Amino acid sequence: MTQETTEKRRAGTATPPAPPAWFLIPAWLLTAAGLGISVYLTVTHYDEGALVCSASQTVDCHAVTTSEYATLLGIPMPLLGLAFFAGFAALITPWALRSQWPPLRWGRVASTGVGVLFVVYLVTVELALLHKICLWCTGVHVITVVLFVLVLIDEFRRVGQVD
């Protein structure tokens, strides 16, 4: 790194480097998958007949998605998931990733952190209260946790680049 680049970084005027492909590609693919599943679950929330999932003693998407825990303050959980993934997509646009504005960086960490807290809550509800698992929901849960890990790794990478 040149002395001029180092001085610009310290002054806060340097443009941060573009995020590496190991972050961008999986982040976008996972976000797109999360959006897709959330759209599907939102549609099936309003049209229960559209839900495709096996129903066994343990795996029963219908029991999970129609339970009393399928909404929060009257808002369907899939709609919250849709909002999460749409918001996260905005936070990983090239402009947002190159921005020096700290709320964007911390927004990625905070949003995925809150997402993981929701995952813990929802998995607890599925296992401890309903004794049922929704495979579609599990897909969203796994995607959310992986996005959280990716964001943390990228954040540590960014912090390590500051002199």
Cα(100)–Cα(30) distance, integer angstroms: 24
Q: How many CB atoms lie within 10 A of CB 141?
A: 21
- Show pLDDT as tens, one digit a residue, over the chain (163 residues): 455 555 655 555 566 667 788 899 999 999 999 999 999 999 999 987 788 987 888 999 999 999 999 999 999 999 999 999 999 999 999 999 888 889 998 999 999 999 999 999 999 999 999 999 999 999 999 999 999 999 999 988 887 765 4
Domain boundary assignment for the chain:
21-161
Which residue intervals of 68-101 are DSSP H helices?
77-91, 94-98
Please state at what angle helix 21-46 crosses helix 135-161, rounded to 10 degrees: 150
Within 13 Å of residue 58, how many CA atoms lie on the same side as its CB? 4
Per-residue model confidence (pLDDT) at position 19: 77
Per-residue model confidence (pLDDT) at position 54: 79
CATH 1.20.1440.130 fits 21-161, yes or no: yes
pTM: 0.86
